[in-house]
Amino acid sequence: MVACLWIWGCILATLAHNLATLTHILATSTHILATSARILATLTHILATSQHILATSQHILATATHILATSTHILATSYFPYYLHYKFTRRSKSLGYLESPAETGFSNA
Domain limits for position 44? 2-98
> Would 37 be classed as within a structural domain?
yes
> Would 52 be classed as within a structural domain?
yes
Instruction: List all residues 6 or more positions away from 102 whose beta carbon is below 8 Å from its beta carbon.
Output: none
> Would 68 be classed as within a structural domain?
yes
> Would 26 be classed as within a structural domain?
yes
Angle among Cα 103, 105, 109 to the nearest 5 degrees reads: 115
Instruction: List all residues 6 or more positions away from 85 whose beta carbon is below 8 Å from its beta carbon.
Output: 106
Per-residue pLDDT at 86:
72
Sign of CA dihedral 8, 9, 13, 14: negative
> Would 25 be classed as within a structural domain?
yes
> Would 21 be classed as within a structural domain?
yes
> Would 107 be classed as within a structural domain?
no
Length of the chain: 109
> Would 62 be classed as within a structural domain?
yes
How many domains does one find in the chain?
Answer: 1
Quick check: helix, strand or coil at residue 74? helix
Where does the pLDDT of residue 83 fall: very low under 50, low under 70, confident under 90, or very high at 90 and above?
A: confident
Task: Choose the weakest-confidence range: 1-15, 62-76, 78-92.
Answer: 78-92
